[in-house]
Chains A and B, each alone.
Chain A
Amino acid sequence: MNIFKMAWRNVWRNTRRTTVTIAAMTLALMVEVLYSGLVLGYFQGLEDDLLDLEVGDVQIFAPDYLDTPSIYSAIQDPVPLLATLNDMGYPACPRLLGGALAAADESSAGVALRGVEVDLEKEVTLIDENVADGVWLDSADKRGVVIGRRLARTLAVEPGDEIVLLTQAADGSIAHDLFRIRGVLLGIADGTDRTAVYMNGEAFRELMEFPEGVHQVIVRRPQDVDLKSAAQAIGQVATGLDVKTWKELMPLVATMLESTRGMIVIIFLVVYIAIAILVLNAMLMAVFERIREFGILKAIGVGPFYVFGLILVEAGIQTLVALFSGLVLALPGMWYLSEVGIDVGSLGGMNVMGLAMRPVWNGIYTLDTVIVPIILLVVIVFCAVLYPALKAALIRPVQAMHHR
């Protein structure tokens, strides 16, 4: 007796029950695939934005800067370091950091000054592409600044308006100067949105009376080098300096992103346990209403392994149909979510743990986002049919034949 032929016919004996079971598995698979891609896209987007716009993969500081941030804790001669890093294939750019008071008309706010080398910055970060209103910095425009969007709201300014920056210069004098707003950034991260003032590096040095050195070097790694290896390679050339990965600089965010995968699996399990109960119920009904038949099969010499295998194959057929239909039905959704995405910009900007969410939420669909839900579905269905299959396989023929 061909076990597959018999299982196939058994599966379609009760079309309604089989359809409901397959539909439930199909729906679960479809939802899980779409959901996992969306969650992956969500967190990947946050991570990409964080690295592309803010922190890079690795940062280099003077040894004592992170413990006691000060304008005087600087990398004195960054040029050879930047050149070496660029030669190694690690794009890097310097930043100058300081604090000031910004004022416009009757409003004022404490701000974080970020002096950048405009042309070099574009090769390392994508911040220049993230201007919501106005334009990014220009190396020829020393008095132009770009500010965070919430700072713009606090100061009630927009591109073209002027602000005064007041601070204590490196020589101890009071420094102040007038700057013109060139652009206002899109939402990036909470701290940047509220306090960041990006300015031309030369303008920073003039304002702060800080002629040499930089406070921070932002480094990106090649795509095929993992973060740990990149940090080790950078550490070897940045001797005597403090080299930190973004995960060390932002451990909370890193942990949150790392735990995403576990969270997805937990939600998968919850959905799949519900499906398992349904499959278990369907298979139990399918087994118990045929218990006499199993008795007959055993009476004519069918062994327990055949009976066990028959039920597994029946469940396998339903799972295969569900896998096929689930993936086919998920395809349009996957295309839509990855290509078009969900517009969350209309919600007025959302942020998670201080990281701004992109206005359009796109799903990311990789082999993993499809394979993991498939594996989970197969495992759960297998677990669900184990009991009915064992029950049918081990029942004594005479007991089965007198079952009512």
Chain B
Amino acid sequence: MDEADVKSVVKLEQVTKVYRQGAVDVHALRGLDLTVGKGEFVAICGPSGSGKTTALNLIGALDRTTSGEVWLEGNNLNRLNRQQLSRLRRDRIGFVFQAYNLIPVLTAFENAEAVLALQGGSAARRQERVMALLAEVGLKGMEHRRPHELSGGQQQRVAIVRAIAAEPAVVLADEPTANVDSETADNLLEIMGRLNQERGVTFIFSTHDSRVMDRARRLVRMVDGRVASDSKS
């Protein structure tokens, strides 16, 4: 890898992904090339089936490519085993999902703390950091509530804290505003924008939401599993 590749947080080279659906092969990605640098705030948009979520899954080491290479901070994901991928997800990647995806038996604090707890470290430091982040996203006083006791927006804020608590290289947000009202969506985007600006966290969104696209400083449009356009604002 050259120096430029190391500086890029994410790099996809000629990535294809083919799913088998019954007797039919579905080509989700057809030679995708994409590079995302540190501190970028990128929105990947495109119609349903264009391959947005598949791209995020591959970048997030949740799935493997059919062909092509995916690099994260210089690590070729194709060459890592199951355990190494788990460690990479834990330490270097944050996820924010459309359906919040909190663990129902854990409190807001425990959910937010989950990645830090997996990494180990002192409980006091974890508590300090998570409480500060929860306060930053407006969840002070709700630390002991279980997910079912929180609104959708509140759950998504917990998910954002979980994603950024361990200071990952990149946060992948798959349609993060799809299940919340406009006001909450604006609020969430405000929080993520602030984290990007102030902390330099790299965000990659997959979205249909124009509000997300408006706030993104780089817009990647995908069609049929390829990048159709890539513009920076």
A residues apposed to B, CB below 8 Å: 1-2, 6, 9-10, 13, 292-293, 296-304, 396-398, 401
Contacts and interface: CB of A to CB of B under 8 A. Distances in A.
A303 B115 contact: no
B223 to A, nearest CB: 22
Nearest to B90: A301
A6 B105 contact: yes
B182 interface: no
A2 to B, nearest CB: 8
B60 A297 contact: no
Nearest to A290: B104
B62 A398 contact: yes
A293 to B, nearest CB: 6
B106 interface: yes
Interface in B51-98: 57, 60, 62-63, 82-83, 86-91, 93, 95, 97
A36 B117 CA distance: 46
Interface of B: 57, 60, 62-63, 82-83, 86-91, 93, 95, 97, 101-106, 110, 114-115, 117-118, 162
Contact of A293 (B62, B82, B104, B162): B104
B62 A299 contact: yes
Nearest to B87: A301
Most buried by A among B62, B88, B95: B62
A392 to B, nearest CB: 14
Contacts of A401: 62, 97, 101
Contacts of B97: 296, 401
A-B pairs, top 10 by smallest CB distance, nearest first, are A301-B90, A9-B105, A398-B63, A398-B62, A303-B86, A301-B89, A397-B62, A296-B101, A1-B117, A398-B57
Contacts of B90: 300-302
Most buried by A among B97, B118, B162: B118
B119 to A, nearest CB: 8
A128 B19 CA distance: 86
Contacts of B91: 301
A304 B82 contact: yes
Contacts of A300: 89-90, 95, 114-115, 118, 162
A42 B216 CA distance: 81
A302 B89 CA distance: 9
Contacts of B115: 300-301
Nearest to A301: B90
Nearest to A13: B105
Most buried by B among A9, A13, A300, A401: A300
A303 B83 contact: yes
Nearest to B146: A9
Contacts of A297: 103
B158 to A, nearest CB: 12
B99 to A, nearest CB: 9
Contacts of B89: 298-301, 397
Contacts of B95: 299-300
Contacts of B118: 1, 300-302
Contacts of A296: 97, 101-103
Contacts of B162: 300
Given A299-B62, A302-B118, 12 more contacts: A1-B114, A6-B106, A13-B105, A301-B88, A301-B89, A301-B91, A301-B115, A396-B63, A397-B62, A398-B62, A398-B63, A401-B101
B165 to A, nearest CB: 10
Contacts of A293: 103-104
B98 to A, nearest CB: 11
Nearest to A293: B103
7 contacts: A9-B105, A13-B104, A296-B103, A300-B90, A303-B83, A304-B82, A396-B62
A304 B114 CA distance: 16
A301 B105 contact: no
Contacts of B102: 296
Most buried by B among A1, A9, A301, A397: A301
Most buried by A among B63, B87, B103, B104: B103
Nearest to A1: B117
Contacts of B117: 1-2
Contacts of A2: 117
A304 B105 contact: no
Contacts of B93: 301
Nearest to B166: A301
Contacts of A9: 105-106
Contacts of A299: 60, 62, 89, 95, 101
Given A397-B62, A398-B57, A398-B63, A301 B101 contact: no
A112 B188 CA distance: 101
A2 B103 CA distance: 13
